[in-house]
Structure 1
Amino acid sequence: MKVYVFKSLPPFLWGYTRDLRAMWALEECGIAYEAVGLDCGPKGLQDEVEFGVVSPFRQVPAIDDDGYVLTESGAILLYLAEKSGKLIPSDLKGRAQVYRWTITSLNNIEPFSLPILFADLQGDSNPHLQALRPWHVEILDRFLPTIDQMLQAQPFITGADFTVADIILTCVLRELRKTEILARYPNVEDHRRRCEERPAFVKVLNAYEDRLGIPRGSAR
């Protein structure tokens, strides 16, 4: 299987890109893969016409499974789990919970965590985004307390087992890892840290830093 990932990035994006999600799932699922490195535009391979055939929006990650091409990190992770039979329950209701919490992370948390990240990265150069930051934090306060309470009673987002829903949630929470927000939710923060300590994630993050040619620890 080929997985399209970044091989160059501006420093402010180190550790935030979504190719980490796909590679983490590939490692956890035990699927052999070839990483195809792309440069982050505007003139890199990510913007070349050829990559547009693979990814219609020229976004990373994308996978090519023997000619079957798939984009969007959430769809990729669910596909990898279903293909391997790992990181997802075998029963319909159990799988539905993985779908549910994967979608929750992408639809209810990331639309507000990303603007917070961008506001912090851009600082005073984007006063409009800065002005909206408290509102985005307030919206997250609708969701994170419930998740924090859940994670007080169970180790992972769907229950006792680690699934692709935990990969998505962890990677979305990484967008907030340098903010003040997660300190208010100790169980959520503990979940993020525990998931990031998994050997598969450590391996992927090390390979990510090596591929980008950046010092160890730069993407943490």
Structure 2
Amino acid sequence: MKLYVFKSLPPFLWGYTRDIRAMWTMEECGIPYEPIGIDCGPNGLQDETWYEKINLFKQVPTIDDDGFILTESGAILLYLAEKSGKLIPADLKGRAQVTRWTITSLNNIEPFALPIFFADLQGEESPHGKLRSWHVDILARFFVPLEKMLANQPFLTGTEFTVADITLTCVLREIRKTEVLSEYPNIVKYRQRCEERPAFVKVLNAYEDRLGIERGSAR
């Protein structure tokens, strides 16, 4: 399977990009893959015109599974789990819960976490900066019940690590250098628990090596 990933990034994007999600899932699922590197410009945009034929929006990641092209990280992660039969339950209701939590991470949490990253990057007088506190307050709506839930179970759907946990962990990484999670110790422990998995460590090391940056730069 081919996986389109970044081979160059401006420093402000190190460790935040969504190709990490796909690589982590492939490692957890034991799916061999060929990484194909995409250059990212200084403004965080990939401009290769040839790539538009593969991904309409020229976004990363994209997978090519023997000619079957799939984009969007959430769809890719669920596809890889279904294909391998790993990181997702066999029963319909169990799979629905994994899908539910994957969508929750992408639709309810990431739309408010990502603007905080941009706010800190662009400064308090930027449009994102002026709305930062509002985004933090909205996240509390989701983090408070998550904090309570994770006090009683290690992962989103219970005792088993699933592809939904990869999604949420990577979304949480978008605010890993902020103070936002400091009020939620169970969520912090959850993220640490997921990032201690050997597959994640292997992927992040390979990610840093491919970008040619020092070990730990994308932590």
Same fold (TM over 0.5): yes
Aligned to 1:143: 142
Q: Which residue of 1 aligns with 2:28?
A: 28
Whether the 8 Å CA contact 1:38–1:44 is kept in 2: the answer is: no
Report the counterpart of residue 199 of structure 1 in structure 2: 198
Q: Are 2:107 and 1:82 aligned?
A: no
Aligned to 1:218: 217
Q: Indicate if the aligned counterparts of 1:45 and 1:51 stay in contact, CA closer than 8 A.
A: no
- 1:110 aligns to 2:79 (yes or no): no
- SS, match of residue 146 in structure 1: helix
Partner of 1:11: 11
The aligned counterpart of 1:179 is 178
Tell me which amino acid in the other structure corresponds to 1:164.
V
Structure 2 distance, partners of 1:189, 1:95, is 25
Deviates more, 1:69-78 or 1:38-47: 38-47
Distance (whole Å) between structure 2 residues aligned to residue 154 and residue 163 of structure 1:
13
Q: 1:45 to 1:32 in 2, by over 3 A?
A: farther
Q: Does 1:127 align with 2:113?
A: no
What are structure 1's unaligned runs of at least 5 residues?
none
Aligned 8 A contact 1:38 1:45 in 2: no
Deviation at 1:49, TM superposition (A): 2.3
Residues 48-70 of structure 1: CA deviation (Å, up to 9, x unaligned): 22211111100000000000000
Q: Give the drift of 1:206.
A: 0.2
Hey, what does 2:63 align to over in structure 1?
63
Aligned equivalents of 1:187 and 1:209: distance in 2?
28
1:13 to partner: Cα distance? 0.3
Following TM superposition, by how much is the alpha carbon of 1:82 offset from its aligned partner in structure 2, in angstroms? Answer: 0.1
Deviations 1:154-205 (A, max 9, x none): 1100111000000000000001111111111111110101100100000000
Q: Is the contact made by 2:3 and 2:35 (CA closer than 8 Å) also made in structure 1? A: yes
Stretches of structure 2 that go unaligned for 5 or more consecutive residues are none
State, as a whole percentage, how many aligned pairs show the same letter: 74
Deviation string for 1:24-66 (max 9, x for gaps)? Answer: 0000000000000110037999422221111110000000000
More helix by share: 1
Confirm or deny: 8 A CA contact 1:156 1:162 kept in the other structure.
yes
Q: Is the 8 A contact 2:41 2:47 kept in 1?
A: yes
Partner secondary structure for residue 3 of structure 1: strand
SS at match of 1:55: coil
Post-superposition CA distance 1:70-126 (Å, at most 9, x none)? 0000000000000000000000000000000000000000000000000011124x4
TM-score calculated relative to the size of structure 2: 0.97
> What's the Cα RMSD here?
1.5
